[in-house]
Amino acid sequence: MEQGSGFPGCLKCENGVLLPLSDYGREGAPIRYKAWVCSSPDCGFNIRIDNGEVTVGRQIGQSYK
């Protein structure tokens, strides 16, 4: 994905763009833009909200839920 895609550029690697991810809360309510992750697999930058706290750069892994 290239710059100019409408998504903000990644300030860590400057190659990828930040892609928004959404989720569902405990009660099933949608949580829009819970996380933003860099589109470059080599970068891995991410920023997310967990229980009201902003977390930057936490290790990302596959969920088996």
pLDDT computed for residue 28 by the predictor = 87
Cβ(38)–Cβ(44) under 8 Å? yes
Residue 8, in any domain of the structure:
yes
User: What number of other Cβ atoms are within 10 A of residue 35's Cβ?
Assistant: 19
Residue 41, in any domain of the structure:
yes
Total number of domains in the chain: 1
Judge if pTM exceeds 0.75.
no
| Beta strand 30-38 pairing with 53-56 | unpaired
Residue 65, in any domain of the structure:
no
pLDDT computed for residue 60 by the predictor = 63
Strands across the sheet containing 46-50:
18-24, 30-38, 46-50, 53-56
Residue 37, in any domain of the structure:
yes
Residues in the chain, overall count: 65
In sequence order, the 6+-apart residues with CB closer than 8 A to the CB of 8 are: 17, 18, 36
pLDDT in tens, 2-58: 555 689 999 899 999 999 999 888 888 888 888 999 999 899 899 988 888 888 876
pLDDT computed for residue 1 by the predictor = 46
Residue 63, in any domain of the structure:
no
The domain in which residue 52 lies consists of 1-58
